[in-house]
Every structure is written in structure tokens, then in C-alpha cells.
Amino acid sequence: MKVLFVTLLDFENINEHSLYTDLLRTLVENGHELTVISPIEKRSNRPASVKEYPLCKIIKPVIGNIQKTNYFEKMTSLFRLNRIVVQALTKDADNVEYDLILYSTPPITIAGLIKSIRKKCSAATTVLMLKDIWPQEMVDLAIIKKNGILESYFRKQEKDLYSLSDWIGCTSQANVDYLLSHNDYLNSEKVILIHNSVDPIPLSADQRARQHIREKYHLPSDVRVFFYGGNLGKAQGIDYLLGCLQYVLNRKECFFVICGNGTEYYKLERFFEEQRPDNMLLLPYMSKSDYNDLLDVADVAMVFLNSSFTVPNDPSRYYTYLEHAKPIFACTDKATNIGNEISQEKLGWWCESEDVNDFAQIVETILQTNKEELVTMGLRARAVLEREYMVIDDYYRIIKCVER
């Protein structure tokens, strides 16, 4: 089977470990021929290229900056995206008849691209992997005005993309329910589960290596280490996070590591410059191996989401925490499904990201929880991943879409 996959994720080969590359690698391992569109943002200063591997071609056009940039530049880049990708695909894979077209959101503005490909490959099965629900997320964050011109434009793009898709794969049942309740024109049978799934790495048990990592980053060995890693923008509710950090400022029983970047990273930089905390570490973007090292030595992993969300988000870092067998402390909106899973499966703690006092109470509980119970929670987290979020299961769900 010939497969086309369109994503905004920038990667050089499918042997990298991520939510998307694990799925792509599984497709190739099962004998399917793969063409991937994986753009390069212009800020990277890398030229456009085409990577050739056995059963896999990765086309890498240069596009405008979309991730972790201001919203004017992001929108401008999204408007230009279709034309750039169509040109790249026409140049490097014009004569290919695809059997399966896979694509993910964000962005929803690829509707024109998918329509163009469908005209050429009329027999292909189209499967949308719905990772984010636009434009409602932008309305929730007050980035665009409800019922305004931009919302109307993006809402039309959203409807077009859903209509072009034979199947829509949602990351959770909460997402399925939300999509169907807000889009009554959709056939419920075409909306299915395609999770955020992984091909999990083995758990590390090297205690000497962990001690070395703690020493490398000057993390105390006898206190609880809390870790957050990922995007730092409006979607994460940074003002609430700052209130939480203020509560634990200079407390000797705990240490907080914040790692990532994004449009509101500067707020954290300012907080650290002004407060000079002795029990916190702020780090910008780092390599995946360094990120994983830090996560491995943490006692608790944190998730933050803006309380304004009405859309059930499934942040990718949550699945990374499950993979690394970490107890999870999530401060999120009420719409997301992960709070229920954390509570029902006893993977950690959850509170709504509105009142810092709720965060404070959970911190006190974690500080009183013994090390053995934290390890048990982490192992339960890994067990949930291996039961619910294995990439091979999503591979078979996608293959079933084609067969049907």
C-alpha cells in the first residue's frame, strides 16, 4: 500500500521516537511504501530537501514559522502553507497514486491540500488524525473573537477538512463526544478512536546514571523533584503556573524543574530574574535525550493546561510521562479527559487550574507520600500506556479504515 502522511512535525527520519514517527515506522515495518511531508520552519535556516530511505521518502519544504511564534506570523504562515506543500509534492511525488492519505491537525488549513490530492487519487482512503480542535481552542484562549471573521473562516476550513475525510480519528472518547455534539452534520460512524500512541522505550533502571544526571543539573538528592517539560504558551496557563511557583518559592522540601519554550517563556524568565529561587531550575528547549534524562530523575511529572479550554485536549507530554513511569500531577481545565484517567487509574493527582490553593494542597500531599507509593503510581502509569496507547493498536485501526 502507498501511504502519504502530512504533518507539521519536523523530523529527519522515522527512526526518531515520537507520537508520529512511531506510527510511520510501524507502517514501513509492515511493508507499506511511505511518502512524508515534514516541513522545515524558516527560523531553522536549513534548506529544503528530500530524504530517501528504504520504503520511505521524506519531503521537507521550507515554510514560515508556525510553532512557538506570535499569532500574526503563525496565521500568515498557515495561509501560505497549502501552496508551498502542493508545490513540493508536485515536484517530488507527482506521479504517485496513494492508497491511504494520513494527515494530522494542527493545522486545519490543509483542507485545500487534501482536496487537491484527492482529485488526483480518487480511490485513496483519507484519515484525519485530529490532535487539536480548531478554531474553538483559539476562541477559548481569546486569541480570536467568537463569531468574528477569523472564527468564521477557520470554521469553514474545519468543516471542509472534516467533509474531505473518510475517517476522523480522535485521541480520546471525550474528543469523540465533543466532535459529534458540536458538528451534528457528521456521520458518527466515521468518527473513531486513534489515540496518541507510542512504541515505548524500555524503562531505565540505572541508578548510578540517575545520580549523575542530578549532579549535572545540581538537583538535590534528598527532596521531591517536580518536572514540567513542553510548550510554554497561552494554552498552558502560564499565569496560573507562576502563581503555583510563587507558593513553593524557596521551600527546601521540593525542587521544581521547568523545561521548554514558547510565546510566554519570557514571563518565566522574568520571574526567575526577579525572584532568584534557590529551589527551581528554568531551562530552554533541549535535546530529546537531555529532556528524557531530566524526566527520568524526577519524582513527579506535571501537566498544565489553561482553565479556559472547553475542548478536551490531550497534551503529548502526558503520554511521555506515562512512558517514563512517572506519577502525574495535572492542573488543567475541566474538559480534558486526562484528569479522569489520572483519578480512576490512581496515576497521581489532578486539580482545576484556577485556584492556587488547590495546587498547594496537592503539593503538601505529595511531600507526605512515601517514595515507594510514588514508584507504584509510576508503574501503574506505564501499565496504562501498555494497555491503552500502543502504536500497533492504532496501526490496525488505520488499516481497518482502509479495508472498510
Q: Is the pLDDT of residue 79 over 80?
A: no
220 alpha-carbon distance from chain centroid: 30
User: What integer pLDDT is reported at residue 119 of this predicted model?
Assistant: 83
* 31-40, 87-96, 310-319: segment of lowest average pLDDT: 87-96
State the residue for C-alpha cell 534524562. 293
**In terms of domains, do 113 and 231 share one?**
no
44 plus 101 within the same structural domain = yes
In this model, does residue 76 exceed pLDDT 70? Answer: yes
**pLDDT tier for residue 180 given thresholds of 50, 70 and 90:** very high
For residue 378, give the CATH number of its domain. 3.40.50.2000
pLDDT at residue 206 is higher than 70? no
In the chain, how many domains are there?
Answer: 2
Q: DSSP code of 33?
A: E
My answer on whether 302 and 214 are in the same domain is yes
Residue with cell 515495518: 29
- Please enumerate in sequence order all residues whose Cβ is within 8 A of that of 2, keeping only pairs 6 or more positions apart, or say none: 32, 33, 35, 96, 97, 98, 99, 100
Domain identity same for 352 and 363: yes
Same domain, 131 and 8: yes
The mean of the pLDDT values for the chain is 90
User: Same domain for 130 and 272?
Assistant: no
Amino acid at 385: L
Same domain, 257 and 170: no
Over residues 273-322, the pLDDT tens digits come to 999 999 999 999 788 889 999 999 999 999 999 999 999 999 999 999 99
> Residues of the chain with pLDDT > 90: what percent?
64
Query: What does the alpha-carbon distance between residue 228 and residue 129 come to, in Å, rounded to a whole number?
Result: 26
The confidence score (pLDDT) of residue 379 equals 96
Range of the domain at 73: 2-198+390-403
Tell me: do 10 and 117 sit in the same domain.
yes
Same domain (yes/no): 246, 259:
yes
pLDDT tens digits, residue range 312-369?
999 999 999 999 999 999 999 999 999 999 999 999 999 999 999 999 999 999 999 9
Domain identity same for 178 and 273:
no
Residues 152 and 230 in one domain: no
Nearest to 25 by CA among 52, 60, 55, 2: 55
How would you write 125-170 as a 3-class SS string?
EEEEEECCCCCHHHHHCCCCCCCCHHHHHHHHHHHHHHHHCCEEEE
